[in-house]
Amino acid sequence: MDFNMKKLASDAGIFFTRAVQFTEEKFGQAERTELDAHFENLLARADSTKNWTEKILRQTEVLLQPNPSARVEEFLYEKLDRKVPSRVTNGELLAQYMAEAASELGPTTPYGKTLIKVAEAEKRLGAAERDFIHTASINFLTPLRNFLEGDWKTISKERRLLQNRRLDLDACKARLKKAKAAEAKATCEGDTVPDFQETRPRNYILSASASALWNDEVDKAEQELRVAQTEFDRQAEVTRLLLEGISSTHVNHLRCLHEFVESQTTYYAQCYRHMLDLQKQLGSSQGAIFPGTFVGTTEPASPPLSSTSPTTAAATMPVGPSVAGLAPPGEAALCLEEVTPPASGTRKARVLYDYEAADSSELALLADELITVYSLPGMDPDWLIGERGNKKGKVPVTYLELLS
């Protein structure tokens, strides 16, 4: 118990000394040891890495799970080391509602059949979304979270320890400075030869004794300063090594970012493929239900990025499925020069993206131009005949916005 009390008193004394030094530094009444410029740059880079990692982590969580209540629930499960329960995605829930609606409204009606087809597509989209969330959480979110909860906590702990060592060092420097000033004053008073007729000999003896005491105090302060300097240098080196490890963290996060982009690319490619299959199914059924109508949507299938030029966007757009010809299988391909537009059923269409013709049967397109389009019996629903002036050729529906 006695030992604990002594340790408690010692810790309280150290804490008080550090508090005094810190307060005097804030008021400009004490000098502080400055770190070198390289060390300060390492500290700034580490702080920036931590701040941006937190922001990227939080926003990625929002991207994967927009529902804040669900995110809080998942966070609590993780803190309690319990398995997060499986959650139905929005696409799967929509598919369930559509399937139930088709069953109640009549699965053999045109509307019911379409609901069933769309429900199957939405279910596949929901499954793809689930796989993407799982892959992104493991390959991207987990490494970022491990850095914040592991490496960064270690760096913060060592930085706090370095701050304490610096306060101890500066307090020792201040103590030594005061001791030397007092020693110099005592030495000056002790060097004066007293006049024993006017000055009491006792004062002279006290001055000499004080000078000896301050000499001992200076020696003690110098010893404490050497110890404090050694501990500060050692802690600065440990902290420097941890801060330089931020470069390895950047390399690891770069690899994780590539994996995240890869998983996101796979997810959107699956979504595009599922929707393209659904569009084909709906196109064939729409032609049977509404003869003479156009197959295709009036909205862009996958709009180009605003930061890219039309030519670049066209290069990145997936090209619609190729067709062997305009005629049904087993028949000779039609000659475009002999094709005449129907008496009714032609429409104007605005080109969404640049398109380069793959062969002489296709018509090259430029973004934002207007062309005349129409369909022919037996054509693939993903293609139309387009005319611009005296030029004529096949054009993909996904590159067009049909106008009224």
Could you write out the three-class secondary structure of 309-368?
A: CHHHHHHHCCCCCCCCCCCCCCCCCCCHHHCCCCCCCCEEEEECCCECCCCCCECCECCC
Q: How distant, in Å, are the alpha carbons of 12, 29, 335, 400 from that of 384? A: 85, 83, 15, 10
User: Looking at the predicted structure, is the pLDDT value of residue 95 above 50?
Assistant: yes
CA distance 264 to 133: 9
Model confidence at 301, in pLDDT bands (50, 70, 90)? Answer: very low
Please report the DSSP string for 170-222 in residue order: HHHHHHHHHHHHHHHHHHHHHHSPP-TTTS-HHHHHHHHHHHHHHHHHHHHHH
- Put simply, whether the predicted model's pTM sits higher than 0.85 gets the answer no
The larger pLDDT score, comparing residue 303 to residue 41, is at 41
What is the predicted pLDDT for the residue at 330?
Answer: 38
Mean pLDDT to the nearest integer, 396-402: 88
Tally Cβ neighbours within 10 Å of residue 272: 14
Q: In degrees rounded to 5, what are phi and psi of residue 141? A: -70, -40
CA distance 295 to 274: 17
What domains are there in the chain, each with its CATH number? 9-191+215-287 (1.20.1270.60), 346-403 (2.30.30.40)
Tally Cβ neighbours within 10 Å of residue 47: 13
Which residue do the tokens 């804030």 mark?
26
Mean pLDDT to the nearest integer, 141-170: 93
Q: What is the mean pLDDT of the chain?
A: 79
Token digits of residue 395: 């054009």
CA distance 91 to 97: 10
